[in-house]
Amino acid sequence: MRELERSSGVLLHLSSLPNKYGIGTLGKDAYDFVDFLAETNQRLWQILPIGPTGYGNSPYQSYSVFAGNLLFISLELLVEDGLLAEENLLEVPEMSDKRVEYDLVMDEKTVLLRRAYEAFRSNFDDWKEEYYTFLGEHSWWLTDYALFRALKSTDDDLCWNEWPEKLRNRDAHELDVAMLEQDARVNFHRFVQFVFFRQWFQLKNYANSKGILIFGDLPLYVSLDSSDVWGNQDIFLLDEKGQMTHVGGVPPDYFSETGQYWGCPVFDWDRLAEREYDWWAARVHFNLRMFDLVRIDHFRGLESFWSIPASEKNAINGEWWPAKGFEMLSLLKSQLGYLPVIAEDLGIITPEVEELRDAFDLPGMKVLQFAYASDETNVNLPHNYGSNFAVYTGTHDNDTTLGWLKTATKEESDNLKKYFNTSWSNIHRALIETAWASVAKIAIVPMQDLLELDGKHRMNTPGTVHNNWEWRMEWKMLKKSHKDFLVELTKKYNRRLKV
């Protein structure tokens, strides 16, 4: 993909799509959402990370940076493929259409995927050519991941660093024995990934045929409890027992007075350099096949990162340590020629971070909810930034715009009234229009903001673990007036889809 022209899009995670089986999937409603984007002349569909999640359900804490989340597999498409019977779907209990009930969805979907796997095995000759092609392309990461998930399911879901020493340290003989013992479970997880990627690329190809680009999200850090860390222990700061010595996070900021303690391992950048950044290169190449462009979350961590001793309870007592992002990005640019990457450069940004971003001509991010807390010099105000940015009313970590307006400080309220010559009730739409009118090459609105939803529909509250990542859209929320508004803005400010 070459450099984006002036364009716009919508942020909506797959989990938030409508679907009667408890969570959004890669099925019909995803295709309908692509059609909605095309009808309203949008160019981009931005989503959150799509990997398999564990406790807390955060897409930023995944068991693998390569695998797909089985929750997003469409049961209806499995029926169309002959891997499930229509009556199987009648056994799924009724679930909320307003929030994702992760545990219930996981239990029910796993049962049905096991049935689909048995049908797949019974009719393997019909699938073997496509399946073996998939394995040939993905075994370099899939073998470790499938074994990792199999071992977790037989060992009380323990983190890999609590496994027996030889497995923890990846003794070659012990791994061979485990592969033989876990053969059935390993092959089930291989099948799940085969189905996920099959459905994913069918959807992506459809979106691309409509002129819609999929805008993915690449978290800087990975979960300790992941096949990635288990398989690459040397590139993370761990002790001899696989325990973290330091963890990632950010110092106190807008979101938290004690900072954010993410509890994930930080990189050993010297070791990454010795390995010529092979893991990072594989990850970025993989993501740029999955998506048309990606956002690197917490981009500033490629210049320097907030390293917190693992023994700390919060993020206050950390230190900034240098990273080697310039060398790593230089390698990737030499391989790719052009980096279709957006830099999430929010928070404490130094001139060095800006220099790293600009050295590779990467668009940064601006968030309008941050623009009115100070005076006219605020860097998030559209009159203070150039075109090489993606502007948002808010991100998945913000309250909805309507929710934010209801809780705005007096200073924010006063500044908003000065900035917009409109009634307070229309400011949420004025903010979206301001994003579209700005010189930023990309403008993105979260679906909740387009639908004019209040803070009850917020996606995530940083620093908390409950009631996050559960919001779901219902088609009845989307009115003709919302579509007309989006079409009008996109035409008025020259962001129309060009196919």
Catalytic residues: 297, 344, 397
Q: Which residues, 6+ apart, have CB-to-CB distance to 238 below 8 Å?
A: 161, 229, 244, 245, 265
Among the listed residues 423, 314, 446, the one whose alpha carbon sits nearest the alpha carbon of residue 368: 446
Q: Is the dihedral of CA 110, 113, 117, 118 positive or negative?
A: positive
Both tokens of residue 193? 């990934």
CA gap 137, 119 in Å, rounded? 23
CA gap 495, 458 in Å, rounded? 27
Q: Which residues, 6+ apart, have CB-to-CB distance to 42 below 8 Å?
A: 7, 8, 9, 10, 212, 486, 490, 497
Quick check: helix, strand or coil at residue 49?
coil
Residue 491 near residue 41, CB atoms below 8 Å:
yes
CA gap 406, 84 in Å, rounded? 47
Give the ranges where 123-246 is alpha helix by DSSP (H): 124-154, 165-168, 172-181, 183-209, 227-231
Both tokens of residue 422? 């409109």
CA gap 427, 7 in Å, rounded? 22
Both tokens of residue 397? 């970590």
Q: Are strands 341-343 and 293-296 parallel, antiparallel or unpaired?
A: parallel
Residue 421 near residue 435, CB atoms below 8 Å:
no
H or E stretch covering 86: helix 86-89
State the virtual CA torsion across 112, 114, 120, 122 in degrees, nearest 10.
-110
SS (H, E, C) 292-335: CEEEECCHHHHCEEEEEECCCCCCCCCEEEECCHHHHHHHHHHH
The number of beta carbons lying within 10 Å of the beta carbon of residue 81 is: 17
Residue 447 near residue 392, CB atoms below 8 Å:
no
Q: Which residues, 6+ apart, have CB-to-CB distance to 46 below 8 Å?
A: 9, 10, 11, 12, 215, 217, 295, 444
* Planar angle of CA 474, 480, 484, nearest 5 degrees: 125
Strand-pairing partners, residue 44, are: 9, 213
